[in-house]
Amino acid sequence: MKTIKGPAIFLAQFAGPEAPFNSLPAIARWAREKGFIGVQMPTTDNRLFDLEKAAESDAYCDEIKGVLAGAGIELTELSTHLQGQLVAVHPAYDSMFDGFAPEAVRNNPKARQEWAVNQLHLAAKASRRLGLTASVTFSGALAWPYLYPWPQRPAGLIEDAFDELARRWKPILDAYDEAGCDLCYEIHPGEDLFDGTTYEMFLDRVGGHDRACILFDPSHFVLQQLDYLEYIDLYHDRIKMFHVKDAEFNPTGRQGVYSGYAPWLERAGRFRSVGDGQVDFKSIFAKLSGYDFDGWAVLEWECCLKHPEDGAREGADFIRDHIIRVTDRAFDDFAASGVDKAANRKLLGLDR
């Protein structure tokens, strides 16, 4: 067995215009002061990280690692969530997702998609230069508006959507394979890959690609009422990344999984700061350790109640307390009889 690494923190929800969140040296020191030893890096904020430079320059990658090391921090993975979202956008969401892209490609879905695909290729190259073995993204979505089968979906609609999704992602997955890096899809509502069934549909269409892996985030499964512990049993060999994020689901007579368009504070299902929700993290850490997951436990803070800095500080301690230092021997070795193979055969009556 292997011990999970951590605690680490995803910087996307913390990066901003004010110090210490507006430069890599400052936010790295802040993360270390909060108790983290790793950071997961968003690739859309040039104040922290320049993706194009990292894809082309070993010197720049060494500089990034040096800045982090100076603060006692390690780079865990790169995130291309927003760019991955733009690999596949249903027209219903064009205007809402345009804000994820540079102004030069807005109002131009074809140019926006090409930009996003190029970003994913840059991230593969950057991951290789940085010595990283996993990266996280979103799959994007073509079928999501048709999630609920009313009106009745035309025959083949979902199959065609997933065929196209796989066609777009297969060359990107090949690029990550060339870079020696797993591409981990965060299984997430709003993406076409939002549970086990949809992940399998996609995996079948990319030929079981070795690099088509999973970022496991149990909070999204609480909101769907999906068994997140069995999910680990089913897909542990594909889980290469782990977001420690909490959630709760409290249905009422007025709302359930869909939550009636209510704002986050009033939803039956809502994200909570880690430790404040309903996720059984003790069982999750135990299962992942038992399946030899040796990646990072990365805090992703999202909460409708608690201040982010309090969530970060508490999250570092929470992860540290849940990481299991795995044993290097069986607990009952002290009672071992030392019997050899010949004696075993005698005990079984095999040499009579």
Q: How confident is the model over 276-303, as a mean pLDDT?
A: 97
* Domains and their CATH numbers in the chain: 5-347 (3.20.20.150)
Which of 78, 68, 59 is closest to 26 using CA atoms?
A: 68
Q: How would you class 349 by CB atoms within 10 Å of its CB: exposed for 0-12, middle for 13-18, buried for 19 or more?
A: exposed
Q: Which tokens sit at 201?
A: 């549909």
pLDDT the model gives residue 352: 74
158: helix, strand or coil: helix
Under 8 Å between Cβ of 157 and 144: no
Q: Which tokens sit at 193?
A: 């890959």
pLDDT at position 346 over 90 = no
Under 8 Å between Cβ of 239 and 214: yes
Q: How confident is the model over 161-168, as a mean pLDDT?
A: 98
pTM summary value: 0.94
SS (HEC) of 91-155: HHHHHHHHHHCCHHHCCCHHHHHHHHHHHHHHHHHHHHHHCCCEEEECCCECCHHHCCCCCCCCC
Phi-psi region of 131 (alpha: psi -120 to 50; beta: other; left: phi over 0): left
Q: Please give the Cα distance from 159 to 298 (Å, whole number).
A: 34
Q: Please give the Cα distance from 75 to 177 (Å, whole number).
A: 20
Q: Which tokens sit at 184?
A: 């981990």
Q: Phi and psi of 249, rounded to 5°?
A: -135, 115
Confidence band of 343 (pLDDT split at 50, 70, 90): confident
pLDDT at position 335 over 70 = no
Q: How confident is the model over 162-189, as a mean pLDDT?
A: 98
Q: What percent of the chain has pLDDT over 90?
A: 92
Confidence band of 344 (pLDDT split at 50, 70, 90): confident
At CA 35, angle to CA 32 and CA 41, rounded to 5?
55
Q: Which tokens sit at 232?
A: 């680990």
- How many residues are present in the chain? 352
Q: What percent of the chain has pLDDT over 70?
A: 97
